[in-house]
Structure 1
Amino acid sequence: MTSTAAVTPSAETSAVALERLRETVPLVQSLTNIVSANYLTNVLLAAGATNAVIDNPHEAAFFAGIAGGVLVNLGTPTDFQAAAFEEAARTAHEKGTPWVLDPVGVGGLPWRTKLAAELLTHRPTAIRGNGSEIAAVAGLGGEGRGVDSAADAADAVPAALALLDVAGAVSASGPVDYVVGRVGDAPQTVRVLGGSDLLPRVTATGCSLGALSAAYLAVADPFTGLVAAHAHFAVASELAAQNSAGPGTFAPAFLDALASVTPDDLRRSARIERVIA
């Protein structure tokens, strides 16, 4: 059973989570797609974690038992990888390793939509996707445009709240990110503002956010950790955009910014608001 947040996630709880992440350097097991593996690994290293791409069914279960956090990303799944997803998710749930489901392309592609539904039986610690993906995983529609969202993140909040029956926290990403979780027994929603419009113009940034979420879940409860990952991304991307001429210069600048952001930067600059229904 995943723990719940003691207080509503905030800039302060995000700063404390970053302090813990840098102190412990959690090891993430990434079962991810061929497009994202390199950049995703660099994001984790820059932020203060580390990564191992262990995505075959012979080793996935063993590694899920020793990793600090696990990412299951459905970006370019094969039958071989799908078997590894199952092994890693099952073992992570059994061993208490926090794991993140990133349902890339779910809703518009039937096979991976079915695969995502099967993985939900292993109760992900967190689910992170765009608005269309979150709606689709919840069974509430949500056909995206390939891997891009056709829905606003705010519109996916009811679907995200419904998914709290099987996950500890859920986020829908967009120009404004919405994250839902529980504080005690009560469901709550927060929005994380900020970020840069250059993020979606660089491949693998969304997948990297899923991996960073897995790292934060190794040091914080699901709601706090998921919000902290989004806040770290938002503040770093704003800093990187100040020194970028476009997507090509933004990609390395973002890695530098992830590394340079401090807990005090999150305290000063993270914009996290509770949403009152």
Structure 2
Amino acid sequence: MRTTRRPSWLRPGRHVLVTGGSSGLGLELCRRFVARGVSVTIVARDRDRLSACADELTRLACDGASVATVSVDVAVPDSVERAVTGIARIRPLDGVVTSAGIMREGRVGDLSLADYSDVLDINVLGTIAVIRAALPHLPRPGGLVVPIASVAGLTGVYGYTAYCAAKHAIVGFADALRYEVEPDGIGVQLVCPGEFDSPFVDALDKTRTPENRAHTLTIPKLPAGRIADSVIASMDRGGSRRVVPGTMTQLIVLGQHLAPAAGRFVGRRKIAAVQNAMPAPP
């Protein structure tokens, strides 16, 4: 029996808005988009970094893909609304990837309320503002929303009270959003990676607590390119799903879901081992 293969969602002529696309996972995704003939508009704050990545992506672009950049702080909703409306007016949108985010690590008493506010404003409200602004401009059917969350949105991690709160919120937002937009033919592909190589993880490595390092690395760190490949493969299929890149990461997340007490036991053991090795205070 002959079957008709469904065309890839990512194909020449598509246009995807990517927040945080000037570095890390967002940039890795943009590299793959333009190489597939998919046009990108990158939204980020740093104008110099935007200019540099636009030059690189333009050199990589194939099949008529275009590269545009807009300097916007996603934590400012009015600016987001104006920017997304302007982007869609210039070229119709097919999808949106929200990769912009920041991280603050530390014990709850050491983080300030300003730290919590920054993490929630950018990671949560910034994600929601961009997706709300983009939804009216996405095709029905055929639009695609790809929020980048984290495994930290599926479990707890020592030192990540702010970050876990933010990523849990994104997971809940995406899961609820599906019920609203799926009937219109818009897919929501929530991405929950473990820790991966990126500029802000490199910066975090200089200051993170030993307990956080041990607990986080229960899941092996992956290259950002491998995470991007998993996201691309999922987007190719279109529709709605939850994406957890990496076989080991998937197994650990499944284990946490099926046996949460065992997951907490392993986490406590790793944290206790670090604390027991620390010198006693004078």
Higher strand share: 1
TM-score clears 0.5? no
Query: Higher relative CO (CA 8 A, sep ≥ 6), structure 1 or 2?
Result: 1
TM-score grouping bracket, smaller chain normalisation: 0.3 to 0.5
TM-score, normalisation: structure 2: 0.37
